[in-house]
Structure 1
C-alpha cells in the first residue's frame, strides 16, 4: 500500500470569476504525494506552479476539489491553521523573517510555531547553544550573527535563515517557491546544496518550484511539469534518471 501523505483530488482554481476575464488556472488537478517525496516542480509562466503551492498552504481556496494531509481534510482550513503542518520559503528573501528581530529571535519564533502562546518569558538563552549548533553547519556566517537584527543580513543569509526557520520543526510538507531565484549563482548553489542535505537527512516531504532544468533533474526523486494548469509529466525512479534537459524542453511551449 502506497503511503500517501498529501492528496489533491479534482482541484480547480478560477480567477476573475463571473466576467469576461475569467480563467481557470488549475484544471481538475490530481496529485498523490508520498511521504518523503522531494518533488521538483517545473512549468511555463502562468502554468499554475505558485497557484498550486498557494492551494496547498491555504492562502488560496480551490473552487472545486479536496486536499487531504494524512487523511485530514485541509480543504477549508485557513492558512494559519495549516501552518502547524505546512512550512514555506518564498522567492523574496524579505518574506518569512521579522527584520527587527534578531536571528536567534526569528529561530525561536519558528521553533514555537503552532504552540499555544503564553505570557511567559521567551527563555531565549536556553536555545542559544542549539541555535549556534544549527547555524554552525552553514558557510555564510549565521552562527556569528545570532544577535544581529535580520534586516541587517545579506539576501543569502536571510534566505538561509528563512529555510532554517521553515525546517526547524520538521513540517509535514515543505514548500519552496523558487527560494534561490533572487540570489547570486554561488549563494543559490550553496543554499540548494543545504536544501538537499536537510531534506534528505530529515526525510522531509517537499515540493520545490524551479526554473532551472539542471536543478530539476539533479535534486529530488520526482519531477512534475505543469502546462496551462495541467500535469503534462509526472516522473520518478529509473525513468527520471534517464531524463535529459532536452526531454524536458519538449513539454514547454514558451521557453
Structure 2
C-alpha cells in the first residue's frame, strides 16, 4: 500500500477577499502525493501552479481545506516551520542561495536547515572534503568553485548549487518550480538529467512545474495538468507512458 507524503483536501485559495479584485485561484482541489512520486505538473499561465506550490510550502494559507504532510496537519504552519521537510528550487537562479557567501558556506547552511542554531563553531573546514566529493559528481565545474562567492557563479552553476542545497538533507517533499527555465538549452538539459538521477537515487518525492511538454512526458512516474484552479488530468504508470504531446495540448485549449 502506498504511503501518502502529501494530502490536499478540498483546497480553496481566494485572494483579495471582499474587494473588487477578489479572485478564486484554487477551487476545491484534492491531491494525494505518494512516497516516491515524481510528478510533472503542467498548466497555462494563471492556472494556479505557483499558488499550489505556495499553499504547499506555507507561504500562503488556503481559504479553506486541509494540508497534510505525512498525515500531520500543517494547514496553519508557517513557511519556516515547513522548511526542514519541504525544499524548493525556484525558477530564478538568484533565489535560494546567499550571494556573498561561498559555495561551501551555502552548502553548510543547507546542511543545517531546520536545526536549532546556537553559539558554536560552524565546522566548515571539517565538511570541505564532503562538499568537494558531492560537488565533483555534478556538472558545471562546481567542485572548482567551493571558495567562490555564490554571486560570482554562472546561472547554471548557481541553479545546480540551489538544487544540491535543496536535496542535501533528503527532504520529505521536493518542489521544483520551473528550475531549468532560465538556463540555456544545454545547461537546462544537464540539470534535468541531474535532477532525474538524484530523485531516482535518493528516492525523493518530488513535484516539478514545467512548461516543457517533452520533459513532462520523459521524466517522472506521474503527470498532472492544472487548469483554472482544478486538476483536469492525473495520469500515472502506463497511462502516463502512453500520453502524447497532442493529448496534453487539448487541455490547454480555451
The TM-score with structure 2 as length reference comes to 0.99
- Partner residue of 1:91? 91
Q: Does 1:252 align with 2:252?
A: yes
Q: Please give the residue correspondences for 1:1-255 in structure 2 after superposition, counting only pairs within 5 Å.
A: 1-253=1-253
8 A Cα contact 2:89 2:176, kept in partner: yes
In 2, the alpha carbon distance for the partners of 1:231 and 1:51 equals: 13
In 2, the alpha carbon distance for the partners of 1:54 and 1:65 equals: 14
- For the residue of structure 2 that corresponds to 1:251, the secondary structure is helix
- For the residue of structure 1 that corresponds to 2:151, the secondary structure is helix
8 A Cα contact 1:44 1:253, kept in partner: no
8 A Cα contact 1:10 1:66, kept in partner: yes
In 2, the alpha carbon distance for the partners of 1:190 and 1:128 equals: 25
Shift of 1:36: 0.4
In 2, the alpha carbon distance for the partners of 1:91 and 1:238 equals: 30
Shift of 1:218: 0.4
8 A Cα contact 1:42 1:224, kept in partner: yes
8 A Cα contact 2:2 2:35, kept in partner: no
Shift of 1:35: 0.2
The TM-score with structure 1 as length reference comes to 0.98
In 1, the alpha carbon distance for the partners of 2:149 and 2:80 equals: 25
In 2, the alpha carbon distance for the partners of 1:161 and 1:139 equals: 10
- For the residue of structure 2 that corresponds to 1:2, the secondary structure is coil
- For the residue of structure 1 that corresponds to 2:122, the secondary structure is coil
- For the residue of structure 2 that corresponds to 1:225, the secondary structure is strand
- For the residue of structure 1 that corresponds to 2:68, the secondary structure is strand
In 2, the alpha carbon distance for the partners of 1:201 and 1:124 equals: 26
Give a deviation string over 1:175-212, Cα, whole Å, max 9, x none: 00000100001000100000000000000000000000
In 1, the alpha carbon distance for the partners of 2:104 and 2:56 equals: 29
Give a deviation string over 1:88-129, Cα, whole Å, max 9, x none: 000000000000000000000000001110111111011011
Structure 1 stretches of 4+ with a deviation exceeding 4 A read none
In 2, the alpha carbon distance for the partners of 1:246 and 1:253 equals: 11
CA RMSD of aligned residues (A): 0.7
In 2, the alpha carbon distance for the partners of 1:166 and 1:5 equals: 17
Unaligned 5+ residue runs, structure 1? none
- For the residue of structure 2 that corresponds to 1:164, the secondary structure is helix
In 2, the alpha carbon distance for the partners of 1:20 and 1:107 equals: 45
8 A Cα contact 1:221 1:236, kept in partner: yes
In 2, the alpha carbon distance for the partners of 1:31 and 1:121 equals: 43
- For the residue of structure 1 that corresponds to 2:169, the secondary structure is coil
Unaligned 5+ residue runs, structure 2? none
In 1, the alpha carbon distance for the partners of 2:221 and 2:249 equals: 19
8 A Cα contact 2:67 2:73, kept in partner: yes
